[in-house]
Amino acid sequence: MEEVIKILNFIRAKSSLKHHQFKSFLDEFKSEYGDLQLYNNVRWLRKGFVLQRFFTILDEVKLFLSSRDQLCAKGYVDYLDEKEHIVSTAFLTDIFKHINDLISNYKVKGN
Protein backbone atom coordinates (compact mmCIF):
# COMPACT_ATOMS: atom_id res chain seq x y z
CA MET A 1 0.00 0.00 0.00
CA GLU A 2 2.89 2.35 0.74
CA GLU A 3 4.21 2.18 -2.83
CA VAL A 4 0.73 2.75 -4.26
CA ILE A 5 0.40 5.84 -2.06
CA LYS A 6 3.81 7.09 -3.25
CA ILE A 7 2.73 6.63 -6.86
CA LEU A 8 -0.58 8.38 -6.21
CA ASN A 9 1.21 11.28 -4.53
CA PHE A 10 3.70 11.49 -7.39
CA ILE A 11 0.87 11.83 -9.90
CA ARG A 12 -1.65 13.84 -7.88
CA ALA A 13 -0.09 15.74 -5.03
CA LYS A 14 3.41 16.73 -6.10
CA SER A 15 2.44 18.87 -9.08
CA SER A 16 -0.89 20.22 -10.28
CA LEU A 17 0.54 20.30 -13.83
CA LYS A 18 1.41 16.59 -13.65
CA HIS A 19 -2.04 15.82 -12.27
CA HIS A 20 -3.67 17.77 -15.12
CA GLN A 21 -1.46 15.95 -17.64
CA PHE A 22 -2.47 12.62 -16.15
CA LYS A 23 -6.17 13.45 -16.38
CA SER A 24 -5.69 14.48 -20.03
CA PHE A 25 -3.74 11.28 -20.62
CA LEU A 26 -6.62 9.19 -19.25
CA ASP A 27 -9.06 11.17 -21.35
CA GLU A 28 -7.06 10.39 -24.51
CA PHE A 29 -7.17 6.68 -23.74
CA LYS A 30 -10.88 6.83 -22.90
CA SER A 31 -10.07 5.18 -19.59
CA GLU A 32 -12.82 3.78 -17.37
CA TYR A 33 -11.94 6.45 -14.79
CA GLY A 34 -10.95 10.03 -15.46
CA ASP A 35 -8.67 10.36 -12.45
CA LEU A 36 -7.12 8.59 -9.49
CA GLN A 37 -8.51 9.10 -6.04
CA LEU A 38 -6.23 10.77 -3.56
CA TYR A 39 -5.69 8.61 -0.50
CA ASN A 40 -6.31 10.19 2.89
CA ASN A 41 -4.99 8.26 5.88
CA VAL A 42 -7.78 9.59 8.11
CA ARG A 43 -10.43 7.33 6.55
CA TRP A 44 -9.01 3.84 6.21
CA LEU A 45 -12.16 2.62 4.44
CA ARG A 46 -11.10 4.67 1.45
CA LYS A 47 -8.16 2.31 0.91
CA GLY A 48 -10.39 -0.17 -0.87
CA PHE A 49 -11.78 2.43 -3.25
CA VAL A 50 -8.37 3.95 -3.90
CA LEU A 51 -6.82 0.55 -4.58
CA GLN A 52 -9.70 -0.56 -6.79
CA ARG A 53 -9.46 2.51 -9.00
CA PHE A 54 -5.66 2.30 -9.09
CA PHE A 55 -5.74 -1.37 -10.07
CA THR A 56 -8.44 -0.80 -12.72
CA ILE A 57 -6.34 1.78 -14.57
CA LEU A 58 -2.96 0.21 -13.77
CA ASP A 59 -1.96 -0.06 -17.45
CA GLU A 60 -2.66 3.63 -17.99
CA VAL A 61 -0.71 4.54 -14.85
CA LYS A 62 2.28 2.53 -16.09
CA LEU A 63 2.13 4.17 -19.52
CA PHE A 64 1.93 7.63 -17.98
CA LEU A 65 4.85 6.95 -15.64
CA SER A 66 6.85 5.54 -18.55
CA SER A 67 6.44 8.82 -20.39
CA ARG A 68 7.95 10.82 -17.51
CA ASP A 69 11.63 11.72 -17.46
CA GLN A 70 11.99 11.71 -13.69
CA LEU A 71 14.07 9.00 -12.11
CA CYS A 72 11.46 8.18 -9.46
CA ALA A 73 8.85 7.63 -12.21
CA LYS A 74 11.13 5.02 -13.77
CA GLY A 75 11.49 3.39 -10.34
CA TYR A 76 7.71 3.22 -10.01
CA VAL A 77 7.45 1.59 -13.44
CA ASP A 78 10.07 -0.97 -12.40
CA TYR A 79 8.07 -1.62 -9.23
CA LEU A 80 4.84 -2.09 -11.20
CA ASP A 81 6.55 -4.41 -13.68
CA GLU A 82 7.34 -6.93 -10.93
CA LYS A 83 4.74 -9.67 -10.82
CA GLU A 84 4.90 -10.10 -7.03
CA HIS A 85 4.06 -6.44 -6.50
CA ILE A 86 1.08 -6.63 -8.84
CA VAL A 87 -0.14 -9.79 -7.11
CA SER A 88 0.19 -8.09 -3.70
CA THR A 89 -1.70 -5.04 -4.94
CA ALA A 90 -4.43 -7.24 -6.42
CA PHE A 91 -4.70 -9.17 -3.15
CA LEU A 92 -4.97 -5.95 -1.11
CA THR A 93 -7.55 -4.59 -3.52
CA ASP A 94 -9.66 -7.72 -3.19
CA ILE A 95 -9.38 -7.89 0.60
CA PHE A 96 -10.37 -4.25 1.07
CA LYS A 97 -13.27 -4.66 -1.35
CA HIS A 98 -14.61 -7.53 0.76
CA ILE A 99 -14.14 -5.55 3.97
CA ASN A 100 -16.00 -2.57 2.47
CA ASP A 101 -18.80 -4.88 1.28
CA LEU A 102 -19.12 -6.41 4.74
CA ILE A 103 -19.28 -3.00 6.38
CA SER A 104 -21.82 -1.77 3.82
CA ASN A 105 -24.02 -4.81 4.40
CA TYR A 106 -23.73 -4.35 8.14
CA LYS A 107 -24.81 -0.70 7.91
CA VAL A 108 -27.74 -1.54 5.59
CA LYS A 109 -29.12 -4.03 8.09
CA GLY A 110 -29.15 -1.24 10.68
CA ASN A 111 -26.86 -2.86 13.23
What residue segments make up the domains of the chain, in order of their start?
A: 2-108
Dist CA 73 CA 64 (whole Å): 9
Dist CA 58 CA 82 (whole Å): 13
Phi, psi of 9 (to 5 degrees): -65, -35
Better pLDDT: 88 or 108: 88
Dist CA 81 CA 59 (whole Å): 10
Better pLDDT: 39 or 63: 63
Q: pLDDT tens, 60-107?
A: 999 999 999 889 999 999 999 999 999 999 999 999 888 888 887 877
pTM over 0.85: no
